[in-house]
């Protein structure tokens, strides 16, 4: 690698020339931590594939994300011609801190490594000989940054921006679609229904050109309580043991669990509230971060997290397919498969019309010979069911979840009954497995519930979910469809007289 190539290599440049101030106040070399390395690898992979970077980063507190993005952008600004960089923060104190960080990078560079700044103010560095510049602003007035023309845009703590949607609308237009341009939005979570949450959801669902990057809190070695700081004989609770078993393969340690316990106590004397607040500030997964305003969701997150990490052999069980159909650019059609205790192959389709969906399911049925295909028949699903049954696929059954429940005393409608079956399946003593998907996890844990005066259970509707800023739970509803004949379909305990004759051999 020649000298110029080395200088344009971010890892080489940052670790040899940039200085940072640590949490202890020490000024030292900038060595990327695990979270920063992970973000860097994800961004570089996207840049190599598409020519540009569009990313939204969800993180815990003080994991070095802003430090990394500031260094990345400052490096690009001083090693390329014609680069304009703009950073927008959520408050004046953050603006000051981030720009001081960048000035520290600049002021500690060896003499002659980069041109002197022609303009050096409290919010701007301009390098006239490169026709490059680096500016920073504070979100507040809706027009901040609107007149900019920039190549690199960093939105810091976007979930806390006032007028976030208006800022974003103007700032996004300031960045062209040329190769080499970058937009990075990063934040800790701040509830649901806001601009940051909506961009995150769209990115997770593949509805935007932004990639969603999540960074778990326990990647930080400083978020640990060391044994010499602890009293003897500290034992983990059942919940803590389960958490450790889930995330230990990804880096969580017993010392992280102890630190978490102390932090929860600092958040609130009410343990349950403390856990919720901790999860928002220090999430283990994306589903933890976005604090649900529903006090008591129908399916608790720990059971879903546990099911994501299981590995169960299901080859001898019959295949059940659940379908939540939809058409249009903004709707997801979801197909998921289940064999007894294992749900798998969650597939999201977009822009399929009813005949295209029927054709895809026809091919799937002919190839995989499912025992049952359950399709939500409300709306467009009815046409898909009719077409498949017309072609002779008697394993296909339409399910109207708005109709009366089978157990009318306990459930207000069939949807509540099927969600209850799915909940019991996930929370039962026998382990189950689901796809290791943040999107499915979020869907399963998003819904609230209530009971009528007669005791019937009702699950929150999709319309009510959307009203409070949550996306439609399409993935969870597709999985719910696989329970239309109970959780044990596909096993020897399933009622044989409910199975079409040509499929009965599958259950023996």
pLDDT tens, 164-182? 887 777 788 888 889 999 9
pLDDT in tens, 475-489: 999 999 999 987 665
Going by C-beta distance under 8 Å and a sequence separation of 6 or more, which residues neighbour residue 54? 46, 182, 183, 208, 209, 210, 211
Average pLDDT of the residues in 188-204 = 87
> Out of 221-230, 250-259, 488-497, which region has the weakest mean confidence (pLDDT)?
488-497
The tokens describing 433, both together, are 């497995």
Beta strands in 7-123 (DSSP E): 19-21, 27-29, 53-59, 84-89, 119-120
Q: Are 86 and 150 in contact (CB under 8 A)?
A: yes
> Out of 136-140, 208-212, 343-347, 404-408, which region has the weakest mean confidence (pLDDT)?
136-140
Q: What is the reported pLDDT for 2? A: 56
DSSP code for 178: S
Average pLDDT of the residues in 9-26 = 86
Q: Which fold has domain 3-215?
A: Rossmann fold (3.40.50)
**Is 212's pLDDT higher than 80?**
yes
Distance CA 206, CA 186 (A): 18
Average pLDDT of the residues in 419-442 = 92
End-to-end CA distance of the chain: 64
For the chain, residues classed under CATH 3.30.420.240 are: 308-507
Q: What is the reported pLDDT for 506? A: 31
DSSP bridge partners of 334: 324, 348
Average pLDDT of the residues in 91-113 = 87
Going by C-beta distance under 8 Å and a sequence separation of 6 or more, which residues neighbour residue 212? 55, 56, 58, 200, 203, 204, 286
Cα 288 to its chain centre, rounded Å, is 9
**191 conformational bin, left if phi > 0, alpha if psi -120 to 50, beta if neither:** left
Q: Which residue has the tokens 């699950």?
A: 459
Q: What is the reported pLDDT for 305? A: 87
Q: Are 498 and 479 in contact (CB under 8 A)?
A: no
For the chain, residues classed under CATH 3.40.50.300 are: 3-215
Q: What is the reported pLDDT for 113? A: 84
Q: What is the reported pLDDT for 228? A: 59
The tokens describing 263, both together, are 């932090």
Taking the CA atoms of the chain, what radius of gyration do you get in angstroms?
A: 26
Report residue 329's pLDDT band, with 50, 70 and 90 as the boundaries: low
Average pLDDT of the residues in 91-98 = 86
Q: What is the reported pLDDT for 219? A: 95
Report residue 496's pLDDT band, with 50, 70 and 90 as the boundaries: very low
Report residue 492's pLDDT band, with 50, 70 and 90 as the boundaries: very low
Name the percent of the chain lying above pLDDT 90: 49
What phi and psi, each to the nearest 5 degrees, are found at residue 342? -130, 120
The tokens describing 83, both together, are 């680069």
> Out of 25-39, 46-60, 221-235, 366-380, which region has the weakest mean confidence (pLDDT)?
221-235
Distance CA 264, CA 223 (A): 13
Going by C-beta distance under 8 Å and a sequence separation of 6 or more, which residues neighbour residue 285? 214, 216, 305, 438, 441
CATH architecture of 308-507: 2-Layer Sandwich (3.30)
> Out of 49-58, 126-135, 264-273, which region has the weakest mean confidence (pLDDT)?
264-273
Share the mean pLDDT of the chain: 86
The tokens describing 256, both together, are 């992280």
Distance CA 64, CA 457 (A): 45
Q: What is the reported pLDDT for 143? A: 55
DSSP code for 183: E
Report residue 116's pLDDT band, with 50, 70 and 90 as the boundaries: confident
Q: What is the reported pLDDT for 277? A: 85
Q: Which residue has the tokens 């934040």?
A: 187
Q: Are 135 and 121 in contact (CB under 8 A)?
A: no
Distance CA 415, CA 401 (A): 5
Q: Is 248 helix (H, G, I), strand (E, B) or coil?
A: helix
Average pLDDT of the residues in 75-99 = 90
Q: Which residue has the tokens 């009318």?
A: 408
Among 257, 311, 310, which Cα is nearest to 284's?
Answer: 257
Q: What is the reported pLDDT for 507? A: 30
Report residue 450's pLDDT band, with 50, 70 and 90 as the boundaries: confident
Report residue 276's pLDDT band, with 50, 70 and 90 as the boundaries: confident
């Amino acid at each position: 690698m020649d000298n110029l190539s080395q200088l344009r290599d971010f890892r080489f440049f940052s670790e040899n020339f940039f200085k940072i101030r640590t949490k202890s106040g020490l000024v030292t070399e900038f060595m990327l931590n695990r979270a920063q390395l992970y973000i860097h690898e994800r961004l570089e992979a996207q840049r190599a594939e598409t020519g540009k970077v569009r990313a939204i980063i969800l993180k815990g507190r003080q994991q070095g994300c802003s430090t990394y993005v500031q260094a990345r952008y400052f490096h690009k600004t001083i090693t390329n011609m014609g680069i304009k960089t703009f950073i927008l923060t959520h408050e004046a104190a953050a603006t000051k801190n981030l720009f001081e960080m960048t000035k520290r990078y600049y002021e500690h560079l060896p003499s002659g490594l980069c041109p002197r700044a022609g303009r050096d103010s409290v919010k701007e560095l301009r390098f006239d000989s490169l026709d490059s510049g680096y500016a920073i602003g504070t979100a507040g007035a809706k027009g901040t940054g609107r007149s900019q023309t920039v190549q690199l845009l960093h939105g810091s703590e976007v979930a806390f921006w006032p007028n976030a949607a208006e800022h974003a609308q103007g700032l996004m237009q300031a960045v062209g679609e040329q190769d080499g341009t970058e937009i990075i939005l990063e934040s800790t979570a701040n509830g649901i229904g806001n601009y940051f949450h909506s961009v995150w959801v769209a990115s997770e669902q593949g509805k935007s050109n932004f990639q969603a990057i999540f960074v778990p809190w326990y990647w930080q070695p400083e978020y640990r309580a060391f044994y010499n700081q602890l009293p003897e004989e500290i034992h983990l609770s059942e919940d803590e043991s389960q958490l450790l078993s889930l995330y230990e393969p990804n880096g969580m340690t017993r010392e992280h669990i102890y630190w978490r316990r102390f932090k929860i106590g600092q958040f609130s004397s009410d343990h349950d509230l403390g856990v919720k607040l901790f999860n928002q500030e220090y999430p283990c997964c994306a589903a933890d971060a976005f604090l649900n305003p529903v006090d008591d969701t129908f399916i608790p997150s720990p059971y879903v997290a546990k099911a994501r990490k299981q590995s169960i052999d299901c080859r001898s069980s019959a295949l059940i397919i659940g379908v939540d159909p939809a058409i249009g650019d903004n709707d997801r059609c979801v197909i998921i498969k289940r064999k007894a205790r294992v749900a798998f192959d969650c597939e999201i389709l977009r822009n399929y019309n009813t005949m295209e969906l029927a054709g895809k399911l026809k091919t799937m049925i002919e190839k995989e010979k499912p025992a049952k295909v359950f399709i939500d028949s409300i709306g467009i699903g009815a046409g898909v069911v009719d077409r498949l049954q017309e072609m002779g696929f008697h394993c296909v059954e339409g399910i109207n979840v708005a109709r009366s429940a089978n157990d009318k005393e306990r459930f207000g409608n069939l949807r509540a009954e099927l969600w209850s079956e799915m909940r019991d399946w996930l929370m039962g003593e026998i382990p189950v497995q689901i796809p290791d998907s943040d999107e499915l996890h979020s869907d399963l844990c998003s819904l609230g519930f209530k009971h009528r005066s007669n005791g019937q259970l009702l699950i929150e509707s999709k319309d009510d979910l959307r009203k409070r800023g949550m996306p439609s739970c399409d993935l969870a509803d597709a999985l719910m469809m696989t329970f239309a004949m109970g959780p044990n379909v596909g096993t020897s305990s399933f009622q044989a007289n409910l199975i079409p004759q040509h499929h009965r051999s599958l259950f023996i």
